[in-house]
Amino acid sequence: MFKAKIYIILKPSVLDPQGNAVMHALHSLGHEEVADVRVSKYIEVMFNISDEKIVSEKVELICDKVLANPNTETYNYELEPVSDAEANKN
């Protein structure tokens, strides 16, 4: 099994209203030294596949077609092998 750790991040040119809201909330709480906040998604996907190359292709397909909006977001990911014992623990 593999665990894919997928980061889906807004492109730098895209406004992030959620991040701005968090930044203003932090400023109003006195954390004036916060210069910028960007809120993104972090998705962990477990795959019942043992071949890293196939997992990698699957992750890119899923990100391109389902998880990320190619107009506004980019993604990157890391793969981590997981033993069946560890997978059952969660």
Instruction: Please name the residue that has the structure tokens 């894919």.
Output: 4
54, 55, 58, 64 alpha-carbon torsion, rounded to 10°: -130
Query: For residue 14, what are the CA distances in angstroms to 25, 40, 71?
Result: 20, 12, 9
Given the complex with a copy of itself, which of 33 and 71 has the nearer CB atom? Answer: 33
**Smallest distance from the beta carbon of 43 to a copy of itself, in angstroms?**
5
Residue 63 DSSP SS3:
helix
For residue 71, the minimal CB distance to a copy of itself (Å) is: 19
User: With contact defined as beta carbons under 8 Å apart, do 22 and 35 qualify?
Assistant: no
Which residues are near a copy of itself by CB under 8 A? Answer: 1, 7, 9, 12, 19, 22, 25-26, 29, 31, 33-49, 58, 62, 65-67, 87, 90
Q: Which is nearer to a copy of itself, 38 or 79 (CB)?
A: 38
**Residue 69 C-beta: closest distance to a copy of itself, Å:** 14
